Amino acid sequence: MRLFLRLSLAIALGWGFAKLIELSPPHWRAFATWCPPALITLLAAFAFGRSLFRGEALVTRIARAHHAGQLPDDLVDYTRRLTALWAFFLLGCALLTMLLVQYAHFPQAASLTPVLVPCLMTCEYFFRKRRFSQHPHVNPLSLMLSMLLHGMPRE
């Protein structure tokens, strides 16, 4: 039921934003197309970066939740560095989107982040599986589904 409500909310927000773009003046459409995805990406980068300075790093919290609260020290260090990588990666995606739309007149640049994020997740998963082969690992698809169903782990 929770998943249905979350998906319904996302669909309603997307539909409402699409209608807003449709009703906006033509010279505002390019801005209205790339601005929300860039802002959402910046907010995500901020959340990852902020968690490095307040309490436990975001990726560490997620990993700890999927390892029943027990996370080996080597994985704690790795997940902290991975949180920083995600913060910089998302910041770079947002800046790239803004630059490509503004200076290269490439309005489809907002669609780059949703393509690049799964690429980083997949590459990181295979790296982690090889580097930390002694530990069990949840695949990215299962992890995303679990987070959709149960939400983010609390601090």
pLDDT digits (tens, 9 = 90+) for 14-38: 888 778 777 878 777 767 777 788 8
User: Is residue 139 within 8 Å of residue 125, measured between CB atoms?
Assistant: yes
CA-to-CA distance for 67 and 33, rounded, in angstroms?
Answer: 39
Using alpha carbons, list the distances in angstroms from residue 41 to 6, 18, 98. Answer: 19, 18, 11
Tens digits of pLDDT across the chain (155 residues): 777 887 888 888 888 877 877 787 877 776 777 778 888 899 999 999 999 998 899 999 888 887 777 888 889 999 999 999 999 999 999 999 888 887 777 777 888 888 999 999 999 999 999 999 888 888 888 888 877 777 777 76
Tokens of 128: 């982690």
Say what the pLDDT of residue 155 is. 62
Question: CB atoms < 10 A from the CB of 151, how many?
Answer: 10
Domain ranges of the chain: 30-150
Say what the pLDDT of residue 149 is. 77
DSSP secondary structure of 5-40? HHHHHHHHHHHHHHHHHHHS-HHHHHHHHHHHHHHH
Smallest CA-to-CA distance from 91 within 120, 114, 113, 118 is with 113
User: Is residue 21 within 8 Å of residue 33, measured between CB atoms?
Assistant: yes
User: Is residue 113 within 8 Å of residue 97, measured between CB atoms?
Assistant: yes
